[in-house]
Amino acid sequence: MKKSISELNSIVYQVRRDIVRMVHACQSGHPGGSLGCTELLVALYFEVMNRKTDFDLDGKREDLFFLSNGHISPVFYSVLARAGYFDVSELATFRKLGSRLQGHPTTHDGLPGVRIASGSLGQGLSVAIGAAQAKKLNNDDKIIYVLMGDGELQEGQIWEAAMYAPHNKVDNLIAIIDYNGAQIDGATKDVLSLGDLRAKWLAFGWQVVEIQSGNDITAILAGFTQAKMQLNHGVPVVILLHSEMGNGVNFMMGSHKWHGVAPNDEQLTAALEQNQQTLGDY
């Protein structure tokens, strides 16, 4: 059943609460990028994707999502749990010894919703292209989605995959770039400038959709509608999602320093107070 924008935003508030509580509890993890992609993943799992909750790795006759920048696992795990893939109470085990919710997603423990291990950056687009081609071979008309970080685009494998997909007419694929301009060591423009990303992807033969308000549910949904309209025309689609690292927690917003730092007790309280609308903590 379709959800209203208000209902989707209620889930966003809850997921933010989950993220800061998970990272605080183990004093480890990556809150900045997780918060920046909260609206995106909520929109994907609760509105955009045609998905099943009876998870299997074959993924036949359903849309599939691959997380390439696996360090933002807190938002991924929270959204998977809130979407019904596993019990919300399991979020309390994040990064604990023996937990299925490792710091970077893995597949060997069979956590529902996780399709690839994504600790090493740069691999997700290649995997997604393979899955998209498998869909075509199986006459499966569903869509493949993959999320990458902008700093991750400094990995060469991304650009090999970017050449491959248009050449092979992989037109059932929507790649998403979390374009927040920040990575662990600072601004991407200072660490290794990405240049004109729109021009680059166009030059590689992709259709490009830009979502300027990447933390606004309405804008995200409109962007996906536009992206879907460009599928099945012989080329893949990439979305440049202009997001804000740390979005929704004022002292984390816009700073690369929160890429991989856990909040202390006082900071946790402040973050939770800024996101009081809740569906129920674990």
Mean pLDDT computed over 233-252:
97
Q: Is residue 1 part of a domain?
A: no
pLDDT of 209 above 90:
yes
- Per the structure, how many domains does the chain have? 1
Range of the domain at 235: 6-273
Q: Which amino acid, one-letter code, is at 200?
A: K
Instruction: Say which CATH number the domain at 164 has.
Output: 3.40.50.970
State pLDDT tens for residues 24-52: 999 999 999 999 999 999 999 999 999 99
Question: Is residue 90 one of the residues assigned to a domain?
Answer: yes
Residue 280 lies in a domain: no
Mean per-residue pLDDT, 53-70: 95
Joined together, the tokens standing for residue 186 give 């600072």
Residue 256: how many other CB atoms lie within 10 Å: 22
**How many Cα atoms within 13 Å fall on the side-chain side of residue 266?**
1
Whether 281 is covered by a domain: the verdict is no
pLDDT in tens, 84-120: 999 999 999 999 999 999 999 999 999 999 999 998 9
The 10s digit of each residue's pLDDT in 253-282 is 988 898 889 999 999 999 999 999 778 999
Q: Which pTM was predicted?
A: 0.96
Here the tokens at position 125 are 């687009």
Calculate Rg over the CA atoms of the chain.
18
- Could you tell me if residue 147 is inside a domain? yes
Q: What is the 3-state secondary structure (H, E, C) of 71-134?
A: HHHHHHHHHHHHCCCCCHHHHHHCCCCCCCCCCCCCCCCCCCCCCCCCCCCCCHHHHHHHHHHH
Q: How far apart are alpha carbons 257 and 272 in whole angstroms?
A: 19
How far is it, in rounded angstroms, from Cα 79 to Cα 15?
7
Residue 1 clears pLDDT 70, i.e. is over it: no
CB 192 within 8 A of CB 186: no
Say which residue the tokens 């996101």 belong to.
Answer: 275
Whether 134 has a pLDDT exceeding 80, the answer reads yes
Is residue 279 in some structural domain? no
CB 23 within 8 A of CB 31: yes
Condensed to tens digits (0 to 9), the pLDDT of residues 162-194 reads 999 999 999 999 999 999 988 888 888 889 999
187 domain residue, yes or no: yes
In a domain, 249, yes or no: yes
